[in-house]
Amino acid sequence: MPRLRHITALTLLAISSITVPHSAAALDIKSEHPRLFATKTDFAALKAAIPTVALPAKYGTVTLKIKPGQLTSRDFKNALIFGTLSHPGNHLYIRHVDDWDTENTIGLQIMLLYSDTNALVNKRINIARSNTATITIHYNNPDKFVSLVVDGGTIEGGAPQPWRQGWEPDQANPQPYYFAKRENDEVLEFKVENSTMDEVWNGRNLDWRLGGAYYFFIEQAKKKVATVMGCSSQPIPSDVNHACNVNTASRAIITETAAELGLAYQLTGQKPYADAALAYSRHIASVPVHTNGEWSMGARVGALGMIYDWIYDYLQEADRADIRAKIKETIRYDVAGTDNDLVGMICGNLNPLAGTTFACSKTANITRNYISGHHGSAIQGAALGLLAIADRETKAEVMPMIDTLHWHQVHQDGDRMAGFLPTRNYISQDGGHQSLFTYGTGDELLLRMAMWRKVQTSGTDALIDAHSNFAPKLVLPYLYGMRKGYVDGARTDWDGTFPAAGDNYDTHSTDGPIASVTLAAALAGDGIAAAFYKDQIQAPRLLWNTEPLWERLYFPGTLAQPRANDLPLAKHFAVAGNVLMRDTWHYNDAVLLDFKSTSFASENHHHLDQNSFSLFYRAPLLVDSGKYDDYYTAHWENYYRRTIAHNTIVVFDPQEAFMRDGKTFSNDGGQWYRGEIYPTLEQIKPGGINALDGVTAFETGDHYTYAVGNASKAYKSGATEKLHHEQGFHRSIIYLRQDGAKPIVLVHDRINSPKKLLATSLLHSVERPETFASQRYLDGGRYAIDGAANPPLRIRNGGGMVTVEPLLPKQATIRIVGGSAAEGRRCVQRPDVSRTTPDEYDCRFTVRGADGISYNYPPRNVFWSPQPPAPDAGNWRIEIAPAAEGATGWQFQRFLNVLRVGVDDGTPKAPENPTSELLASSDNSADAVKLDNDQTVVFSTTYAPVKTLKWGPQNPAASMLVAGLEADKYYRIVCNASTECSVVQEAGEGPGRYKSSAKGVLDYPPAGRR
């Protein structure tokens, strides 16, 4: 039973009188340390997996058979192969020396050392490129004999050398036996034999990746020790990425620094790492506990918890007491009148702790932040701190708060489940998320669930397990959404990247978060995820990447057997509204279209981008533009997160004002927030105040994918609606795969504006769109296209190309907008004055104001996060409208763009005329496109599914894909080459009748008759 002698009677009375939310079953926290994320057994298993070898005393032989690899830009300088240079005792070291490489040979260095600077043997070995060499090192200390033999030829020794001191490995102070190499080294044999030539160790199953990760991790940890030990001797830096900045840095810096030092201590047992961790705890304790609010408070508490738990056996009781006190003080601290502290993050709006207890004065309520916000990370930081110290006297004191923290993960709320996990289970029921691809990964949630399981005596948590069905599905958007794979040889900016959607920073498949969700799936039996981890995460990583070490610790177990990807070529993530379409699972040759129409509105990292899409082939062709310079910057508020920055529709209303918290933002004519900025789970479900219609139809087959999104509710409604709340903006996309060619994409929009406002369709690009006719400068970075109506536009980038054929509206007004200094055109700048150096020639991020002037909102010069490749931000956009600005509009407007994707053919200009032809419709029921003589695609012009469509004429033998029909009904097709075609619904099955799909698409001729 826990001892309570340090808790006063008054405190006990206070605890007993408070209603605290409890988990379904009482939490039974382990008593032993470590217990956060890993136990002694887990650390021991990781240590056992790290490659190591003990060289025999006195006598031994080391044999290395290697085909050395050519130096690449991905290799570490002077890459070691075995051992280490820095060691005070006798040790062996084998490495590359880059400067020794010649046109014909690769140079290795073999050293037998007495210390860092005193070597018995120090030899250069030149191995012919593409050759394999066998290197044998023999030592016999009693006879003072060593030899170094390469391919049978003696390089050093060969006879006893009594004048030498002799050499044997230091047994009292064994050297670290690091294993790493160049990426292209082939190690064919590595073994150690004793004095009788019995093999005592071999490296046949050596995990070089784990070896390299361990070596590089320890080298980084040594540097981190030096950094941390110097923190107290200098002013706290302002750099938010500096480990010593415990004032304002995040969990990614403060908590991770503690974890790195703790892991280094657990793996080596060496005192310097523990000393540094203890020093770091004291450095953290020197900062006023409320500094920088919950953002850094949670990071500091999490760090203290990791230090307390992972170096527990090294700490003196006085040190432990100091850390316990600081954790409790920080969590208790309540910044008056605000929730910007850990109490606010845990208990909710102005809900302080009850007296001196660790219990909220009222039932905790943060239901608006289970979808997004900082509450999850703040609660995790508090959990790390309290779970670390929840033993002995402290346990009874902190358990009420621990119960609350666990309760936030999942709990019963009336007749439904609530908390972080049920909320994520709803949104990510199929793996999707509204904030893909940088945010919304779900990796931190996976680790939080693992932590709660690990700290309990049983090692399990049935309540968490019951609401984590989403976990093995989180990888799916990344399987579908990776734009380009890694290949041997030349690398590009796009390898392992994903669409730059939502708030995004530099994100690659090799990153830890992507690896985490992939491993979760592979451990659950997903062989496709296992293959993705092997081919797109492990293989392209540097051998000096530390992530494999953490992954082995956090995701132990046996992965599924890798297997080829045989998933359908498109996937719809229902609640999140992502639809990802591709034509092949060969990542390096895929055309990826990312369509988004989320089923709810929210703000955090979630853009005003409903019914938008991006397109990638070999490089970004149509992009989600702008840069994530930070929250609440001029660029972020007025351009980046706004509809104008995306490939969707804007409808400019000069009377419309976009306002929040008394501040007016740019009038881009786009979407605005609906309902609550931070909604509850119930508010985002159908019928809730934040609900949108999202993707209303999706189906996919071998040769096409069809998706429909309804973004009508994403636009503001007033007394007279800018866009009709049900029929305002429907977008249909058909992704048509081609035999022997890249896909053709058709984008069909139906607009209903009761105020008769002109809609404008946007297409953003990296490179300037080309036209056959000349482009005439207007103003504000805008160019008019002279020549024939609706000319094709061509966009090239990185060897890929898309030709845009704007078929509707007829006689469209088309503008090209953007550019920078190369064009020499000036734009009016609206920068963040204190953080941006404006460039008067920057016209990339313009929004046309009510006064007719285009204002450019450039991003800040200094970014808080690593940025994606610069071209992803876009430089240009195409604007397609029914008429010029200021003209009277129409209530009903339609847009139809045909996008033809292919390899950049190098032609100097776009074609003069489109390949596609818009066919007539005698009753205006259809927008039909003759793609060529053999393919026609037809869209209904109405919103409700129809029984009849008419268009033509066309080749009666051509294939037809007809969308907008009633579902699962039989239709008769009548085509006359000289007049028109029609589809007419019939009563039932019969000769010459064809059934529409469950989503109202008629595919003729049916599968099997093509």
Which residues pair with residue 704 across a beta bridge? 736
Lowest pLDDT segment from 22-31, 50-59, 585-594: 22-31
pLDDT recorded at residue 593: 98
User: In this structure, what DSSP letter does residue 811 have?
Assistant: T
CA dist., res. 175 & res. 268, Å (int): 12
CA dist., res. 953 & res. 928, Å (int): 10
Q: Reply yes or no on whether the pLDDT at 163 is more than 60.
A: no
**Each residue's pLDDT tens digit, 405-445:** 999 999 988 889 999 999 999 999 999 999 999 998 999 99
Expressed in angstroms, the distance from the first to the final Cα of the chain is: 76
Q: Are 283 and 236 in contact (CB under 8 A)?
A: no
**Each residue's pLDDT tens digit, 743-781:** 999 999 999 999 999 999 999 999 999 999 889 999 999
Q: At what angle do helices 393-409 and 375-389 cross, to 10 degrees?
A: 150
Q: From 809, 602, 790, select the one nearest 688 (Cα to Cα).
A: 602
Backbone angles phi, psi at 255, to 5 degrees: -65, -40
Q: From 658, 22, 665, 676, select the one nearest 372 (Cα to Cα).
A: 676
**Each residue's pLDDT tens digit, 315-361:** 999 999 999 999 999 999 998 888 999 999 999 988 999 988 899 99
Starting at the edge strand found earlier in the chain, the sheet holding 741-752 runs 694-700, 704-710, 729-738, 741-752, 892-903, 800-808, 793-797
**Max alpha carbon distance in the chain (Å)?**
106
**Each residue's pLDDT tens digit, 258-315:** 999 999 999 999 999 999 999 999 999 999 999 999 999 999 999 999 999 999 999 9
For a pLDDT cut of 90, what percent of the chain falls above it? 78
Does this model's pTM top 0.75? yes
User: In this structure, what DSSP letter does residue 368 have?
Assistant: G
CA dist., res. 974 & res. 957, Å (int): 11
Which amino acid would we find at residue 251?
Answer: R
User: Which of the four pLDDT bands, split at 50, 70 and 90, describes residue 597?
Assistant: very high
Sequence-separated (6 or more) residues with CB below 8 Å from residue 220: 260, 546
- Residue in the block written with tokens 């002013």: 235
Mean pLDDT of the region 567-583: 97
Which residues pair with residue 804 across a beta bridge? 793, 899
User: Which of the four pLDDT bands, split at 50, 70 and 90, describes residue 974?
Assistant: very high
Which of 655 and 421 is assigned the larger pLDDT?
421
CA dist., res. 596 & res. 571, Å (int): 12
Q: From 954, 922, 958, 924, select the one nearest 939 (Cα to Cα).
A: 924
Q: How many residues does the chain have?
A: 1010
Q: Reply yes or no on whether the pLDDT at 14 is more than 50.
A: no
CA dist., res. 839 & res. 544, Å (int): 40
Q: Buried (b) or exposed (e) across 815-842, using 16+ Cβ within 10 A? A: bbbbbbeeeebebebbbbeeebebbebb
Neighbours of 965 (CB within 10 A): 23
Lowest pLDDT segment from 191-195, 247-251, 277-281, 978-982: 978-982
Phi-psi region of 270 (alpha: psi -120 to 50; beta: other; left: phi over 0): beta
Which residues pair with residue 650 across a beta bridge? 760
Which of 488 and 802 is assigned the larger pLDDT?
802
Q: Are 706 and 581 in contact (CB under 8 A)?
A: no
- Residue in the block written with tokens 């036209």: 771
- Give the DSSP per-residue string, 765-815: ESSPPB-SS-EEE-STTEEEE-SSSS--EEEEETTEEEEEEEEESTT-EEE
Mean pLDDT of the region 131-142: 94
Q: Reply yes or no on whether the pLDDT at 3 is more than 70.
A: no
Angle at 793 between CA 501 and CA 930, to 5 degrees: 100
Q: Reply yes or no on whether the pLDDT at 527 is more than 60.
A: yes
**Each residue's pLDDT tens digit, 946-970:** 999 999 888 888 999 999 999 999 9
CA dist., res. 890 & res. 754, Å (int): 8
Q: Reply yes or no on whether the pLDDT at 256 is more than 90.
A: yes
CATH class (in words) of the domain with range 570-903: mainly beta
**Each residue's pLDDT tens digit, 789-847:** 899 999 999 999 999 999 999 999 999 999 988 888 999 999 887 777 788 999 999 99
pLDDT recorded at residue 878: 98
Q: From 648, 575, 660, select the one nearest 607 (Cα to Cα).
A: 648
Mean pLDDT of the region 652-672: 91
CA dist., res. 439 & res. 367, Å (int): 20
Q: Reply yes or no on whether the pLDDT at 140 is more than 90.
A: yes
Mean pLDDT of the region 995-1004: 96
Strands (E), 553-681: 570-573, 578-581, 591-596, 612-617, 619-622, 649-651, 658-660, 663-665
The whole-angstrom distance between residue 814's C-alpha and the CA centroid of its chain comes to 35
CATH class (in words) of the domain with range 53-206: mainly beta
pLDDT recorded at residue 232: 87
pLDDT recorded at residue 19: 45
User: Which of the four pLDDT bands, split at 50, 70 and 90, describes residue 515?
Assistant: very high
CA dist., res. 452 & res. 387, Å (int): 9
The whole-angstrom distance between residue 912's C-alpha and the CA centroid of its chain comes to 41
Task: Give the start-to-end residue ranges of the domains of the chain.
Answer: 53-206, 570-903, 920-1004
**Each residue's pLDDT tens digit, 75-88:** 889 999 999 888 88
Q: Reply yes or no on whether the pLDDT at 168 is more than 50.
A: yes
Q: Are 891 and 754 in contact (CB under 8 A)?
A: yes
pLDDT recorded at residue 4: 29
User: Which of the four pLDDT bands, split at 50, 70 and 90, describes residue 1009?
Assistant: low
Which amino acid would we find at residue 134?
Answer: T
Mean pLDDT of the region 250-261: 97
Which amino acid would we find at residue 132?
Answer: T
| H-only helix segments in 616-705 | 634-635, 681-684
pLDDT recorded at residue 686: 96
**Each residue's pLDDT tens digit, 897-929:** 999 999 999 988 899 999 999 999 999 999 999
Round the CA-based radius of gyration of the chain to a whole number and report it: 32
Mean pLDDT of the region 980-994: 93
CA dist., res. 296 & res. 257, Å (int): 13
Which of 942 and 492 is assigned the larger pLDDT?
942
